[in-house]
Amino acid sequence: MSQLRSARALRGHIARLDMMTRFVLATLALASGVYTYLGVRGLLEGSGGATLVFFAAIIYSVAVSVGIYGFWTYLIRFVPEIRDWPARVMLFAVMALGSLMIIAMSSWLNAAALAGSAAVEQHLATTLEGYTADLDQANSNAMGALSLLPDLQRAEQRFARLAQDERNSGALTGTSGSGSVVQLLTQMSAQMRELQTSILASRETVSRLFEEGQAHLATMRGLVSAPGPVEERSDKFGQEAVALAGVIAALQQTSVAPSVSRAAADLSAGFIAPVADGRTPDLAGRQDAVMATVREAVAQQSKALSEAAAEILALPKVPERRYVPLTAADAVVQYAGQFIPSWAGAISIDLLPAVLVGIMAVVHAAMRRAEEEMTEADQVTAADMLRALELNSALATRRRALEEEQAAANDDGAGSPDIRTAAAENVTPFSERKRQDP
């Protein structure tokens, strides 16, 4: 009896929840259609007139809503009633295929409507981080030549000091005065000073360009977090990105490391020593010896500067970066991993009816198991019992009427002997009628 009551209760609940099931399916289909409409509007924006875009989005969203409602209605009716396992497996395979199609035609547009603006802002923020790193790298490469200043200053001071000592006391040749050695040392000091001047001048240009790039970055940073439509902010962001790319390119061209490398090579390759001007052969020989020593010192200095400049030139170049604007739908797909809750909500709206299908399948299976364990008498409902009683009463009434008619007919025949005799005389046996038939 408990199984009987359970089966009847489940069947009653299913009948009472039928309207609720339809309402749930219709509500979910409608919600999916609304968000699909918003996603399609954002995707089609700018591809035609406003009226055309409006009707196209409406038609698509209505088609999606009707398709989702019909798809899950069919499944919620047929899946619980199918008992054959191969057929049920086929239905589940169809349900999986249909779910993938629903995700493809609706869920990603729902996600675009739910998180489209946030995804575009995420794209702007990611692009901003890339441009910030590019500007820092370009500035570092351009300022790398400043690391050569200490070496150049030491070399310039060394040559200047030697020239002064030679002029005042003849520290190198033993004879004071402004001779060939002093001229050579003064020339080397002047070349080092020129390199310092060019590096210092480039530092001012680099600082100015870096400040300009920082201003562009500040504007772009404000556009990322500013209120208002994200499409307009994206357009302004693109303009700032183009300007910033020009600043980064200018920074890369401002580096004086190539110039320092060439100048360092010229120090040794283009070394021109003056002719010794000593008044005596002994002084001229000493001057030649000192100038040879200066040549070696210049060669070493040239090698050191060339190696330092080569290290600066070996720094990785800033790759060319272009800002590519994305629509809300494209941004949601590209940054899907960062918007998992939005994707989960968008997919759940479309696939939540699958839970209802599973519930109905489980309930119908439980009812069938309970009914299979009951006898035929247990499966008779109160309605069946009432109909059986009514039918039995009608049959009993009909039987009594026939008996009364037969009793009345018998009474009439017993009261008229002549009639019974006449009837007996007129009755012909069946065997006689058969012989009399031609």
How large is the C-alpha radius of gyration of the chain?
52
Amino acid at 390: E
Specify the pLDDT at position 279: 55
Query: For residue range 255-298, what is the model confidence (pLDDT) as tens digits?
Result: 777 777 777 666 655 455 554 555 566 666 666 677 777 777 77
Do 406 and 299 have their domain in common?
A: no
Asked if residue 107 is part of any domain, the answer here is: no
Asked if residue 27 is part of any domain, the answer here is: yes
Tally of domains in the chain: 3
Asked if residue 302 is part of any domain, the answer here is: yes
Do 267 and 355 have their domain in common?
A: no
Specify the pLDDT at position 171: 61
Do 13 and 75 have their domain in common?
A: yes
- The pLDDT-based confidence of 312 (bands split at 50, 70, 90) is confident
Nearest-angstrom CA–CA distance, 1 and 375: 11
Do 313 and 168 have their domain in common?
A: yes
- Tokens standing for residue 274: 């003056």
Phi, psi of 405, rounded to the nearest 5 degrees: -65, -40
Do 386 and 421 have their domain in common?
A: yes
**pTM for the predicted model, two decimal places:** 0.64
Is residue 90 within 8 A of residue 84, CB to CB? The reply is no
- Would the CA dihedral through 159, 163, 166, 172 be positive or negative? positive
Higher pLDDT, 301 or 90: 90
Residue 76's closest CA among 302, 361, 373?
361
Do 404 and 432 have their domain in common?
A: yes
Asked if residue 334 is part of any domain, the answer here is: no
Do 284 and 203 have their domain in common?
A: yes
Do 231 and 311 have their domain in common?
A: yes
Nearest-angstrom CA–CA distance, 226 and 220: 10
Do 124 and 184 have their domain in common?
A: yes
Is residue 35 within 8 A of residue 347, CB to CB? The reply is no
Asked if residue 110 is part of any domain, the answer here is: no
Residue ranges of alpha helices (H) inside 255-319 are: 257-269, 281-313
Range of the domain at 36: 2-81+339-372
Asked if residue 269 is part of any domain, the answer here is: yes
Asked if residue 12 is part of any domain, the answer here is: yes
Do 194 and 320 have their domain in common?
A: yes
Is residue 33 within 8 A of residue 64, CB to CB? The reply is yes
- Tokens standing for residue 316: 């990785």
Specify the pLDDT at position 180: 67
Is residue 302 within 8 A of residue 112, CB to CB? The reply is no
Do 217 and 297 have their domain in common?
A: yes
pLDDT more than 70, % of the chain = 78
Lowest mean pLDDT among 67-81, 122-136, 285-299, 397-411: 285-299
Specify the pLDDT at position 385: 75
Asked if residue 66 is part of any domain, the answer here is: yes
Specify the pLDDT at position 412: 64
Q: Among the three residues 317, 347, 372, which one is the final residue of a domain in this structure?
A: 372
**Token pair 């519930």: residue:** 359
Do 389 and 359 have their domain in common?
A: no
Query: For residue range 318-346, what is the model confidence (pLDDT) as tens digits?
Result: 888 888 888 887 888 888 888 888 888 88
- The pLDDT-based confidence of 374 (bands split at 50, 70, 90) is low
Lowest mean pLDDT among 3-17, 213-227, 404-418, 424-438: 424-438
Which secondary structure element, helix H or strand E, spans residue 168, and what is its range?
helix 149-169
Query: For residue range 205-233, what is the model confidence (pLDDT) as tens digits?
Result: 888 888 999 999 999 999 888 887 888 88
What CA dihedral angle connects 9, 10, 12 and 16, to 10 degrees?
130
Query: Cα–Cα distances in Å, from 196 out to 163, 210, 268?
Result: 19, 21, 18
Query: For residue range 119-167, what is the model confidence (pLDDT) as tens digits?
Result: 888 899 999 999 999 898 888 887 777 777 777 777 777 777 777 776 7
Nearest-angstrom CA–CA distance, 370 and 364: 10
